[in-house]
Structure 1
Amino acid sequence: MTAQSPEPFPHPVPPGELRASHDDREAVVEQLRDAAAEGRIDLDELDARLEQALTSKTYAELAVLTADLPRREPPGSRQPPLVLKGGLHGASRGPGRWEVPGHVIAHGGLGGVKLDFTRAECRLPEVTVEAYGEAAGVTIVIPDGWAADTGALDPGIGGLKDRTTSDRLPGTPLIRLTGSGGMAGVVVRHPNRWERRKLNGNPVRD
């Protein structure tokens, strides 16, 4: 018998195309009901949007239903900051699953820091990353479809390398960078070829 070749692993999809959960749909339903109670949308609009919310399959489909409503404080916005210190041996977070707080502080130190958001769980519209390159630098990796705002970061001597695109998908967070490049600098980018291969070879399982 001829051995069957294994099926190829699925490629990572853009964050906006990720499948929404029952909790995601319920959160949007609750926001729509609150908006109707506050007089922001009328009952006809509420009914139409509720029907769409309950049948939405992706984050992007849900995002358009609340795009014209004030943002509610999402889960994780009140979490304490995540602090990473490179020290002598370096520090990292990711690429495995981890919950993103609203504020991350990274000190490169002598060993460097790598902050990888490619498989992070984030429902926040914005995340502030306070990066200090110091002697060994800070590297930040964000998924395709996420965007970074680097205007508030002082490049310092080491500089800032922004290798991201501006093609932000609906429903994805904005990474807002502050801090200083220090001696070694700060890099923000999307996954490189080696990281993409590793992601493809280790698909996310529920």
Structure 2
Amino acid sequence: MNPLPEDSPPLIGEDDRDSAVQRLQEAYTEGLVSHEELDERLDQVLTAKAHSELVSALASLPEEHPGTTSTIAAAGGRIQRRGAWRVPRILKVESAYGRVRLDLSRAIIEHPVVDIELQLGTGGAKITVPRDAVVDVEGLHTEWKDLRYKTPRRTGPGGPKIRISGAMGFGRLEIRHARR
């Protein structure tokens, strides 16, 4: 196998492609592009090999909705979300001295990929994800205690991808899949 030339553009990840498809579908739903234009741009996104091709397919679209990123912050105390709450595309959770409890098992998840960025000082975090979710913790840095996460034997198809990144100081992150 030949190595890639040094000046070759980086390959497109599936998450980038999925994000671009979703942006185009939203633009169509909002009436910003015609059906014909949607078809052309989707074809461009699905056959793109370089990141610049994705960018040109999304050119002239407005920026993503401002509501796609939310920040929950507290200096101390508890941060808790549970029940039927709407999960944004990007959720930033910042806490200096508190515990964090996020239960996504009954949450409304409208995005195929959800990024949760943790910036926690002391205090642990517990995240319950849907039963069929795929969890990615590659971007998480823990200082003091290791992560507790047991990958399920099997997950159902079509579940959301939950990417957890950021930094944990002196607390432990525990991730579990919902039982139902």
Q: TM-score, normalised by structure 1?
A: 0.53
> Post-superposition shift, 1:179?
0.5
Alignment RMSD, CA only?
3.4
Partner amino acid, structure 2, of 1:179: G
Higher strand share: 2
Q: Which runs of 5+ in 1 are unaligned?
A: 1-26, 42-67, 197-206
The partner residue of 2:40 within 15, 30, 38 is 38
> Post-superposition shift, 1:99?
1.3
Aligned residues: 136
| Distance in 2 of aligned mates of 1:35 and 1:80 | 24
Match of residue 117 from structure 1: 104
Q: Which runs of 5+ in 2 are unaligned?
A: 1-24, 30-34, 49-57
Per-residue CA shift, 1:44-102, capped at 9, x if unaligned? xxxxxxxxxxxxxxxxxxxxxxxx899x99xx8652422223433211111x1111111
The alignment-based identity, stated in percent, is 24
Secondary structure in 2 matching 1:107: strand
Contact 2:132 / 2:160 at 8 angstroms: preserved in 1?
Answer: no
Match of residue 185 from structure 1: 172
Could you say if the C-alpha distance between residues 104 and 141 of structure 1 is closer, same or farther in structure 2, counting changes exceeding 3 Å?
same
Could you say if the C-alpha distance between residues 129 and 37 of structure 1 is closer, same or farther in structure 2, counting changes exceeding 3 Å?
closer
| Distance in 1 of aligned mates of 2:89 and 2:42 | 27
Secondary structure in 2 matching 1:87: strand
Match of residue 170 from structure 1: 157
Could you say if the C-alpha distance between residues 166 and 88 of structure 1 is closer, same or farther in structure 2, counting changes exceeding 3 Å?
same
Contact 2:132 / 2:158 at 8 angstroms: preserved in 1?
Answer: no
Match of residue 70 from structure 2: 82
Could you say if the C-alpha distance between residues 39 and 147 of structure 1 is closer, same or farther in structure 2, counting changes exceeding 3 Å?
closer
Contact 1:154 / 1:181 at 8 angstroms: preserved in 2?
Answer: yes
Partner amino acid, structure 1, of 2:178: P
Contact 2:76 / 2:95 at 8 angstroms: preserved in 1?
Answer: no
Matching of residues 85-164 of structure 1 within 5 Å:
85-94=73-82, 96-164=83-151
Contact 2:122 / 2:168 at 8 angstroms: preserved in 1?
Answer: no
| Distance in 1 of aligned mates of 2:42 and 2:72 | 41
Larger RCO of the pair (alpha carbons < 8 Å, separation 6+): 1
Secondary structure in 2 matching 1:97: coil
Match of residue 203 from structure 1: none
Higher mean alpha-carbon deviation, 104-113 vs 138-147, is at 104-113
Q: TM-score, normalised by structure 2?
A: 0.60
Match of residue 12 from structure 2: none
| Distance in 2 of aligned mates of 1:77 and 1:164 | 33
Contact 1:146 / 1:167 at 8 angstroms: preserved in 2?
Answer: no
> Post-superposition shift, 1:130?
0.5
Secondary structure in 1 matching 2:109: coil
| Distance in 1 of aligned mates of 2:145 and 2:163 | 19
